[in-house]
Amino acid sequence: MLTNLQQQPADALLALIKLHNADPRPDKIDLGVGVYRTGQGETPVFGAIKAAERKLVEEQDSKAYLGPEGDMGFVEALMPYVFGKDSPDMGGRIEGMQAPGGTGSLRLALALARRANVKRIIVGVPSWPNHAQICADLGLEVVEFNHARADGTVDMDALRAALAGAGAEDAILLHGCCHNPTGIDYSPGDWDEIAGLVSEAKILPIIDLAYQGLGMGMDEDAYGLRRVLVAVPEALVCYSCDKNFGLYRDRVGAFYVMAAEPADLPRIMSNAHALARANWSQPPDHGAAAVRLVLEDETLTAQWLDELDQMRERMRQVRARLAAAGKAGTVDLAPMGGQNGLFSIVPLSKEQVLEMREKHGIYMAGSGRINIAGLTAGNIDKFIAAVAAVAA
């Protein structure tokens, strides 16, 4: 029976990693892999996480199962940062559970929406490729609208039209901040309007908050999510600690449900727990336990926030340098200065992206998406010059 399976295309990013690793040029640049890097090109473990892990090793006295909901201390400790310190559970209407990374959280949210009779997911494109892939696997139809215009601004007209055409069995998937792959975020004023539009459309918002703290700040990056949640009766929230705690390989995520009434939560969460049990049974504990220990300790929390500030500032400096370069050939780099997070799209053709790789040793996705954190003081001028050369 296994011979009936069809060959699937190789993951383009994994193939790019192999090509980069095999390139012998000492000045090659990797802008493909979506992880934070320091100015020295490293992806370090946070000092606050290291301290928490030492404490975990010393104090943890069991590796017994936690259940499909995972470490609820971790889930609850995150809530003031996600939903705000004043009323993190929205009057008893929000409950969560641990998930294996942001991807696991997203998979759970979409599966729960499907079980609740959602048929279509409205998604701005381009988007993270796994959004569409998970929807397809669950049998959810994806309805696309343009996220951004060619001038690097959000396309609110396209969003308005998509919501105007929404039906009762639709949901909308929104990037909470640091849009992947464009880096083009909605302004606070845009979010104010989006909250009203989603409320009027009476559809389910699913908010993917994978990069909180890497854009403008912890509270600033949560503005859109919080604004939508006060305007609607129900919502699903997908959260990742992989980026803002540097826990990529430990797969640390959380999933939250906001119900119309507190009394609805037990029934909704029973379905979420059942779906989790069928998919991964129990989420991995170590990374979530480390995050919990960081958030329970004021000193470690302050250290983590300081490390996060340094990450964000470095990426803002890279963006400022790109923006200051202005035109690189026919490519205008200036809009990158106003974008957020790890990613931006350089408007190059696939042929030009290939030329960047073959002639200049610069590795980037075929879409032109680059990881801003792959640029350093030592290689950014080479990158700008290469863009100018291929886009002359």
Q: Assess whether 243 carries a catalytic annotation.
A: yes
Catalytic pick among 30, 243, 285, 304? 243
Give the rounded distance of the alpha carbon of 76 from its chain centre.
20
Q: Is 326 helix (H, G, I), strand (E, B) or coil?
A: coil
From residue 350, give the alpha-carbon distance in Å to each of 69, 181, 258, 377: 43, 16, 42, 26
Across 259-375, the runs of DSSP E, i.e. the strands, are 327-328, 331-332, 343-345, 362-363, 369-371
Among the listed residues 30, 128, 250, 285, the single catalytic one is 128
Tokens of 364: 């980037």
Helix 286-296 vs helix 298-325: crossing angle, to nearest 10: 100
Secondary element (H or E) of residue 29 = strand 29-30
Three-state DSSP state, 237? strand
Q: Catalytic annotation on 382?
A: no
128 assigned to active site: yes
Q: Which of 145, 226, 163, 219 is nearest to 191 (CA)?
A: 226
Catalytic residue, from 185, 208, 221, 285: name it: 208
Provide the 8-state DSSP code for 153.
S
Catalytic annotation, residues: 128, 208, 243
